[in-house]
Amino acid sequence: MNAPRHKLYKDAETLFVEQGMTCAACSASVERALRRADGVVQVNVNLATNSATVLCDPSVAEQSLVDIVNKTGFQGALADVDDVSVAITHTISKKRLIVALICGAVVLYIGMSHMLPVRLPLPAIIDDRYNPLNFALIQLIFTIPVLICGRNFFINGTKNLVKLHPNMDSLVMIGTTTAFLYSLYNTWTIVQGNAHGAHNLYFESAAVVVALVLLGKYLEENSKNSAKQAINSLVSMIPNTAIILNKEGEEVEIPAKNVRVKNTVIIKPGSRIPVDGTVLSGQASVDESMLTGESLPVYKEVGSHVSGGTICKDGMLKIEATGVGGNTAISQVLRLVTEAQERKAPAARLADKISGIFVPTVVTIAVVTSLLWAISGRDISFVLNNFVAVLVVACPCALGLATPIAVIAGTGRGANLGILYRGGDVVETAAGVNTVIFDKTGTITYGKLKTAAVIPMEGVSERDVLSYCATAEYGSEHPIAEAVLNRVQEDNIEAARPDSTQSVPGRGIIADLGGKKIVAGTMALMELKKISIPENADTKVPEGCTAIYVSVDGKYLGMIALSDTIRPDAREAIAQLNAMGIETVMITGDNEGAARLIAKEAGISSIKAQVLPQDKHRAVEEFKENGRVVAMVGDGINDAPALAGANVGIALSSGTDVAAESSGIILMREDLHAVVDSLKLARQTMRIIRENLFWAFIYNMIGIPIAAGLLVLFGGPAFSPVFGGAAMAFSSVSVVTNSLRLTRYQPDKSKK
């Protein structure tokens, strides 16, 4: 790992795989091809962003990497050096999907019309009893468009089968192809005068399976593109322009991307800061909530660091640029999100793993048994019947439905409960979670300050302290002012409009009222104005609270303690997680005192306080390295790297778009019980999937030997593909029925 590296996105060459990748097997093929190239040190292929990150020797030509991707059958392109966004792909069109679903529904209706206890009505011209040939041809006509729409599955499935890496596409390809070809054969027998051939058609199996797989792929692609768009939205938080001082000392507005390190940048009140930098002059309160998640603005003065994308609330700053372009704090957050996604091991697609053994085994059985029967002297009709029966019985409909139908039912029920899962892999991973890490502000708490205590001096009433403080804060939109004014309103305390006010950024406010001078703010402001405060005043501040000191005409009146508001459902939800055997942890950028107070109230014993976004991500990685399966619950941009780095990210709907799109689970309910419900539902869904796979395999274990002619060996009848189709249908119905149990799932009645 000590080899020299290309310098793109720090130290790696990034490629976009623009077309062709549809599953984990596809990304694995690209990864294997790139890894075999001379000079390549490490390769990570990210299916979610359709990108490949390659560490290689400088002697490796960039275009050669693209050529390697193209030779594998996919389409590659180099990422722009200055582009931190990700590519949006569209491989499955909505029109193709609609055509496939409509045509598949028509074939299903016609093909199943005679198989139900009560026949479905059909016009006589296509009824199998009166016009068997038309019955077959109309199904053939509507099946062909479905197969054309799903041609990529046949291409990819065949490629992976040839490479001895069969996946779900391979299962779909071999099953639907067999059903289609056998149906074509029986259509020909009808032409030859065999009307009974109408009962040996499996066009509906081929059409419906392809249509449903197309639907699943389309929904998966939309989910991936949504995630990509959210990552791209981070870039929009950096202003397009910046005001700098030129060599003549004049203010000049230039594109933000043209700002260079050491440039002097002017930041005006209310504007978003375009680059990272150090304050040269001025003072202001800066809203850093997009990075830290904390609601209180941060006071900045000479020597303070500011981050690109944050907002200068008041005051004017002159800064020296220290981080520009891809080296800003917001770009680092974006990089952490994408890198964490790359390192995240994709959830095992059980059906794909099974197919690696199942498909070649079934084909081998069909070929071998047919040859053996041919050698034994059986006629070609018996041999062909035997071959097709094995493949029809082994058609992976039930196996293919086992996971997606349960996932559809589980995620659909989740949506009803206000829980959005981003895919079956998320459900699978969530079922194994044994550690839940919570952000504090906006997650455990509302992120909104409240008045926790009023501590007046002797001889001064609480109402006087609140009234004077509210007067000073009158008309302010600062979170502290909002908390004080809300308390005054609740207690019906009068607050006068001041004659004038003077804001002291990061410290407080000074107001004049009828000749009285009111000072409300931090201890530092009191010291600045030389207001005497009792030595033990700060010891009376409740743990975890922010203190606002109030004075009138230089006389100290008292203090107002402010604290965050814990969600009322937090304690019960965390108690339920603990009862499930899940460890709970809280990580926050807030001070340790405030963190411990909230953790104690919520019932969380383990905390990590005063951490930056990188630290949250690092803490998540530490838990994972210790063998824990981690779910991270958060709501802000500052949580995005940790949400992406966790095994499962769980975002609150009240949070930012980036937090949501960095997560596998989005909670639409303003209720932490939804965290519990999301994990319980995931466990139940995986239980159903395991049951489905069990029954699908039992069906194949019994059906395949019989179809291969086991009964014939003992004097029994040959197994007709018709019965194979019926058994296949029964197996599929049983899997679907079992999966639909999830639609009636109730979290409060589920097992822990």
Question: Catalytic residue positions?
Answer: 439
Give the 3-state DSSP-derived string for 296-336, with helices as H, strands as E and coil as C. CCEEECCCCEECCCCEEEECCEEEEEEECHHHCHHHHHHHH
Return d(Cα 574, Cα 585) in angstroms, integer.
10
**Distance in angstroms (rounded) separating the CA atoms of residues 484 and 521:** 12
Q: What is the CA radius of gyration of the chain?
A: 33
| Residue 25 CB partners (closer than 8 Å, separation 6+) | 160, 165, 167, 169, 352
Max Cα-Cα span within the chain: 116
The bridge status of strand 508-513 relative to strand 500-504 is antiparallel
Lookup: tokens for 134 = 């038309």
Cα distance between residue 299 and residue 283, in whole Å = 7
Q: How far apart are CA 399 and CA 694, in angstroms?
A: 9
Q: How far is the CA of 537 from the CAs of 456, 461, 470, 509, 532, in angstroms?
A: 10, 16, 21, 20, 11
Per DSSP bridges, beta strands 305-306 and 276-281 are: antiparallel
562 vs 481: CA distance, rounded Å = 11
3-state secondary structure of 13: strand
Residue 222: which H helix or E strand, with range?
helix 203-235
> What gap in Å lies between CA 363 and CA 268, rounded to an integer?
72
Helices (H), 417-510: 424-430, 462-472, 479-490
Burial of 509 (0-12, 13-18, 19+ CB in 10 A): buried
Residue 2, Cα to own-chain centre: how many angstroms? 33
Strand, coil or helix: what is 415? Answer: helix
Length of the chain: 752
* Cβ–Cβ under 8 Å, residues 666 and 634: no
Instruction: Please state, in angstroms and rounded to a whole number, the distance separating the CA atoms of residues 294 and 452.
Output: 18
Q: What angle do CA 508, 514, 516 make, to 5 degrees?
A: 50
Q: What's the rounded Cα separation, in Å, for the pair 747 and 685?
A: 12
Q: What angle do CA 313, 318, 319 make, to 5 degrees?
A: 100
- Name the helix (H) or strand (E) containing 616: helix 613-625
Residue 446 parent element (H or E)? strand 445-456
Closest listed residue to residue 575, CA positions, set 543, 602, 536: 602
CA 707 from centroid of its chain's CA atoms: 44
d(Cα 580, Cα 576) in Å, to the nearest integer?
6
